[in-house]
Amino acid sequence: MEELEKRINELSPLTWAYVGDAVYELYIRENLVNKTKLKPHKLHLESIKYVKASAQATILHRIEEELTEEEKEIVRRTRNTKNHHLPKNAEVNEYMYSTAFEGLIGYLYLTKQDERLKEILEKCI
């Protein structure tokens, strides 16, 4: 596991966020499909409420005190990574925090910390 973690730590935090974005969106979609009877268009509209930058930033602020020191460091590293992509529908600060949230999700996924990932994802709904 140490070799895997070392390799993952060498990746850019924006790479963690890239993976985390997909993992989180899939979790939300799967959750909505399993818990509602919505048609695809309504599923999409409902999922946006969870995956937009402002929602992710809010979730991160809500769970921040429950994170381990290592997880807080992952959040800090991702949040502080220079990102040349400017947000369309979010404030810069919200976007930084949503990217940090995605970075945490991606890092946990990539390092196969499945139980912790599940704990955090369950707090998002």
Mean pLDDT, the chain, whole residue set: 93
Q: Which architecture, in CATH terms, is 2-122?
A: Orthogonal Bundle (1.10)
Greater pLDDT, 15 or 89: 15
pLDDT reported for residue 54: 93
Whole-angstrom distance, CA of residue 68 vs CA of residue 74: 10
Amino acid 1: pLDDT: 66
Q: Which pTM was predicted? A: 0.92
Per-residue confidence at 93, pLDDT binned at 50, 70, 90? confident
What the block records as the tokens of 17 is 């966020």
- Whether the per-residue pLDDT at 88 is higher than 80: the answer is no
State residue 104's pLDDT score.
98
HSE at residue 37, side-chain half, CA atoms within 13 A, is 0
Spatial distance between the Cα atoms of 2 and 31, rounded to a whole number of angstroms? 32
Domain residue ranges of the chain, discontinuous segments joined by +: 2-122
Catalytic positions are: 21
